[in-house]
Structure 1
Amino acid sequence: MSSRPPERAAPNSSTVHGGGRELRADARRNRERVLRTAQQLFATDGLGVSLDEIARRAGVGPGTVHRHFPTKEALYLAVTIDQLEQLVAEATALAATDDPAALFTQLSRMVAMGAENAAVKSALTAAEFDLRTAAPDVAADLTGQVAELLDRAHTAGAVRRDVTVDDVMALVAGAFAAIRHANAETSQQRSAHLAQIILDGLRPR
């Protein structure tokens, strides 16, 4: 994949890519079908899968895919943003609870999703593109929610006082490297175990 960040896909799935006109119901369903199919294939194959194969597996024509997503990079980014917005929503829900250890729950979810999904891992590690450049709003939302959970953990004494949100995000990226080094990417139990060891380093001494 080119090092140049791809253009951000429109976050609203009900509008035409690059425009504000509402999609017809059938076009909206096709777009969602392509996104879900691409999500599954990118999770396992990364960018190696072709747009034609995504179209075939989604049960739509190649032209349908290209109308919504002019390049593979645009589709990849749209899938990634969709997944990361799920993480933001989960973090928002955790922030509404009184659990001082909610930070660890959120970070475990982030690592688990990244370990299973190549697109999410690439975004969180800036391997394929820098999310802060390609989708700054999503990056800011996710980091902001993690920072809020970190502040609560600090107040409750559930995390080391010297830990910053940048440290936390770096540890998430580091967890993916550890999982890959241990050849644990296909083992949910093994990858979760490694992530837990890494995240335990955030706890007070």
Structure 2
Amino acid sequence: MTRITSGAGEVWDRGRWRNPPVRAVAEGQTLRVTAAENSDAWRHTSYGFVHDSAHALLAPLPAESAVEVSFLLDYTEQFDQAGIYLHVSDSLWIKAGVEVSDGIPQVGAVVTHGASDWSVAPVPEWIDREITVRLSRAGNAVTIRARAGDEPFRLIRVAPLDETVSAEGGPFCASPTRADLTTTFTGWVVTDPDASLHPDHG
């Protein structure tokens, strides 16, 4: 397994910010990111607005590779969110992670091809744990998985993505409804893509 890192703390230096946050402080292996109030990522569907202010730390994500982002699920306010962001263009992107909705943390993804969609599943048992979200590019698809701690990854979403497009990926957070959301990211690695969509239970 190929892991791209740069040594203690320097893993965070290889990306560039799409919408810089209020504050980003590297402390050893962690990165604490404070989101701006009203930051979000969404296009059109249901709500009728376009928001493109989520904070994403992006680095190239070639075809046939995967990215994993880990963070602490210690946030509790409506629409607080953190995870992985994959960016191709202003109208083609994916965000995946855990977002608080209606008082419950929900693992899910927003896939945007001109307009956004949203899929979620409640994970109240993940509160106060380290979460890892994995996004794998293989062929013409992106496979999204997530887990708490060392549990097995859960399949969250499979979405289309042309294998020829140039994409960037990395950690993201956003705070649509409040100020002072600070997310503690604990890991960011680029590695090999998933060998298959379904694990071999043979």
The structure carrying a bigger helix percent of its residues is 1
Same fold (TM over 0.5): no
Higher relative contact order (CA 8 A, sep 6+): 2
Who wins on radius of gyration, i.e. which is larger? Answer: 1
Structure richer in strand, relative to its length: 2
| TM range, smaller chain | under 0.3
TM-score (norm. length: structure 2): 0.25
